[in-house]
Amino acid sequence: MALRIGSNIPSLTAQRYLTKNQRQVEASYRALASGSRLSSPQDDAAGFAISEILRSQVSSLGQAKRNAEDAQAMVQTAEGALNEQNNILVRMRELAVNAASDTIGDKERGYVNDEFSQLLSEFDRIAKSTQFGSKKLLSGTNENFSFQVGANKGAENEIRFKLKADTRASAVGIDGLDVLEKSDARDALSSIDNAIDKLAGTRAKLGAVQSRFNFAIDNLDVQKENMDSARSVIADVDVAEETSRLTRAQILNQAGISVLAQANSYPKTLLRLID
């Protein structure tokens, strides 16, 4: 075996392995501290690219779910107003039945008509004032709505519907009704029944839209969960595995330091040849 002073090959070898082990220790610390095994592209270039794509998809699905929830809130706002209008019609019908009977006189019928007229005004006010943000919902705008409920471009990622909801008093046929006379009260009954039917039809359409949004939201939850799981498998650190890797690297690091110390003292053996 040749003995040389100019180059200490064992020391260089020990340094090389020590540097490699130290790099692994630092990588393990970084992964455990961040919770991600892909803190930089150099860790796994392909995995890093895939995980970033999945991360953007997961984030977009979260926003799409919020879009669907906001759209559902808009429909529920309209439905809540329709429910109150329906309650008003029920009460107006009750008053009309009362006014159509001779159990009350003309004076009392006037009192009944006062409430009837106030309820009619409130019915119309609700239709004209109900809105979500700047969108009028029950005043017959017949606006087309489009909601982005997917992470990507395309008609399959949208829910569209036309809001055909005009529940103003004139639109449902109860404008100008009164119950001052028995005949007027009896005529009002059929008009109120027609208005109740129209409201029921509008509520059924909105209910169908709400049902669709419920399923869309559930589907987005499933997609987001599965995609986030896939991203986690690629990007998140396995703590048990990484801890084991760190322990191994630390042991090798300590061994490397010991070997390097011995390798650096190796040339001293040459002094025995000179003595």
pLDDT score for 205: 93
Q: How far apart are CA 237 and CA 243, in angstroms?
A: 10
Average pLDDT over residues 203-218: 94
> Residue 141 in 3-state DSSP?
coil
d(CA 48, CA 38): 6
What is the pairing mode between strands 135-136 and 144-148?
Answer: unpaired
Render the burial of 71-94: b for 16+ CB within 10 Å, e for the rest.
bbebbebbbebbeebbebbeebbe
Phi-psi category of residue 94: left, alpha or beta, with phi > 0 → left and psi -120 to 50 → alpha: alpha
Nearest Cα neighbor of 179 from 136, 120, 252, 258 is 120
Q: Which tokens in the block code for residue 193?
A: 């029944």
At 275 the pLDDT is 59
Q: In which band, very low, low, confident or very high, does the pLDDT at 50 lie, cut at 50, 70 and 90?
A: confident
The pLDDT value given to residue 236: 67
**Contact present, 71 and 273 (Cβ < 8 Å):** no
Mean pLDDT lowest among 26-35, 47-56, 101-110:
26-35
- Per-residue pLDDT band for 19 (boundaries 50, 70, 90) equals confident
Distance CA(94)–CA(59), nearest Å, equals: 53
CATH architecture, range 45-235: Up-down Bundle (1.20)
Three-state SS at 26: helix
| Distance between CA atoms of residues 253 and 94, nearest Å | 89
Say yes or no to pLDDT of 2 above 80. Answer: no
Distance CA 240, CA 66 (A): 35
Given a cut of 60, whether residue 3 has pLDDT beyond it is no
* pLDDT more than 70, % of the chain: 80
- Mean pLDDT for the stretch of residues 136-146: 90
User: How do residues 229-270 score in pLDDT, each as one tens digit?
Assistant: 887 777 766 667 767 776 777 777 777 777 767 767 666 666
Q: What is the pLDDT of residue 45?
A: 76
Q: Check whether 41 has a pLDDT greater than 70.
A: no
Percent of the chain with pLDDT over 90: 52
pLDDT tens for 145-176 read: 999 999 899 999 999 999 889 999 999 999 99
- Residue 49: predicted pLDDT: 81
Residue-level pLDDT at 108? 92
Location of structure tokens 């709400």: 210
Predicted pLDDT of residue 267: 64
Written as six digits, the tokens of 195 are 């208005």
Greater confidence (77 vs 234) lies with: 77
C-alpha–C-alpha distance, residues 256 and 247, integer Å: 14
Give the span between the Cα atoms of 160 and 147, in whole angstroms: 6
Which residue carries 């995980």 as its tokens?
Answer: 51
Confidence check: pLDDT of 5 > 80: no
Residue type, 212: R
Is a pLDDT exceeding 70 seen at residue 42? no
Name, of 15-29, 39-53, 91-105, the range with top average pLDDT: 91-105
